[in-house]
Homo-oligomer: A and B are copies of this chain.
Amino acid sequence: MPLMSLEKPPAQPGQVWAHVGQPFVGREYDLIVLGAGRMGAACALYLRRLAPRRSLLLIEEGGLPNEDGATLLSPGVWSALTVPPERRAEAQWTRAQLAGALAPDPSLNLSFQARPLLELAAAGGAGWEAVLDVLGRDPAPTLPAGLADLQALPWARLDAQAARYRPGALALACAQAAIGAGADLMLNARAHLDGGGVGIERLSVTNTHQIVVHETHRLRAGRVVVALGAAGPGTVEHDLGLHTTHARAYRQFPRLNHPSTEQTPTLRAAGLTLRPQHGGFTLVPAIHHRDPAGYEPGGGRLTGVPTGLRRETLEDLVAAMDALPALATGALELGRSLMDVPGAWFALPGGDPDGLPRHEEVAPGVHLLLGGPHADTLGLAVAYDLAATVAGTQQRPWAGRPG
């Protein structure tokens, strides 16, 4: 190990408060990050690396990963196909981080797999090829039989650089690496912004499974990063009395029990992404638009029968059935109530269903960090960008976009 420079004091692992049985004495922090999803955990890690002299506390309302957050359910599909050209360098840097640069310790396993993404379409255009040509090349991406109707989808484009990983494992790896680099972590603690600091409620669970506040603290903080996913904009609006343009959308991930292998490419067709997982597919419907404030998701009906899929998701799947006949079979798990189909709220930066990850200083010293639908491909770069901004660093490790 080289000698540490003045900027890099020897990393003493930080402290972890996982439950209220571990006593916590409130203190001042230079930096507090709210939310240990992948965006918050990554930002905490990069902050430890870029500003190692500033004390940091990472606060998470649930466990790690939080089962109610979007991180755990995110598809974890990296592909530069849908990223605007001027953000490609950041996407490539994110890919390198995911592939091992972020957490070289092999115990921090993101299940990273370089696997092509095959997009199929009814109509072609520049950059598209005949699907049979693409499937005939060597090495050929293999398509499970009976999944797609290639006569309905005669055009294809292949992202040979694409990859898959587990966003939940990414959050965990980032949080562990951040702690290893000196960050403190508090789990099971709800936080709110409180002029110049953060109010904390440490939560505990009663015998009757009620969540109760065990104790409260008020911490002063130099800067606060709000990385609460879809709840972030609402938190800064409620706590700071300001208005943002951000919105959120509920996304369900139905299961399709059509056989896949580790080698099956990620597929995209008819507006859906099909991510091979656990020998089948996880379906990722497109986000068409934000959901209105106050909306509570509920199950829809298919020819009168209640399902766990909401109506909007059902419509997307019904519309895709001609192109993807497997959707019209018993392989599709419809569920009977909302509880049966995994789903989560996603932030829509700028209210845009295609909004890119971003950060912004919504009040002096308070930074809102949003992942959203493109977090799989660009999230780490934006988390790094915020950490570098807070650290006062002009340089960015990707080319072509100095901060």
Contact = CB atoms under 8 A, between A and B. Distances in A.
Interface in A229-259: 237-238, 241-243, 245, 250
B292 A297 contact: yes
A303 B236 CA distance: 11
A315 interface: yes
Contacts of A298: 293-294
Contacts of A293: 298, 300, 310-312
Contact of A294 (B295, B303, B351): B295
A330 B250 CA distance: 35
A225 B298 CA distance: 30
B292 A310 contact: yes
Nearest to A238: B304
Interface string A333-364: 00000000000000000010000000000000
B241 A315 contact: no
B315 A351 contact: yes
Interface string A302-346: 111000001110010010000000000000000000000000000
Nearest to A249: B292
Q: Is the interface of A mostly helix, strand, loop or mixed?
A: loop
Interface string A190-229: 0000000000000000000000000000000000000000
A291 interface: yes
A295 to B, nearest CB: 5
A401 interface: no
B241 A304 contact: yes
B303 A242 contact: yes
A289 interface: yes
A44 to B, nearest CB: 29
The size class of the interface chain A forms with chain B is: 20 to 34
11 contacts: A237-B301, A243-B302, A243-B303, A292-B295, A292-B297, A293-B300, A293-B311, A294-B296, A294-B310, A294-B311, A295-B295
A295 B289 CA distance: 14
Given A243-B303, A292-B311, 10 more contacts: A250-B292, A288-B289, A289-B289, A292-B312, A293-B310, A293-B312, A294-B297, A294-B298, A294-B310, A294-B311
A241 B305 CA distance: 9
A318 B351 CA distance: 14
Nearest to A244: B315
Interface string A98-138: 00000000000000000000000000000000000000000
A295 B303 CA distance: 21
Contacts of A292: 250, 291-292, 295, 297, 310-312
Nearest to A239: B304
Contacts of A315: 245, 351
Contacts of A300: 293
A315 to B, nearest CB: 7
A288 B243 CA distance: 20
A293 B307 CA distance: 13
A256 B11 CA distance: 61
A290 B245 CA distance: 19
Contacts of A295: 291-292, 294-295
A288 B290 CA distance: 10
Contacts of A351: 315
Contacts of A245: 315
Given A293-B300, A294-B297, A310-B293, A318 B243 contact: yes
Interface in A261-313: 288-298, 300-304, 310-312
A350 B253 CA distance: 24
A301 B315 CA distance: 32
A383 to B, nearest CB: 27
A318 B237 CA distance: 15
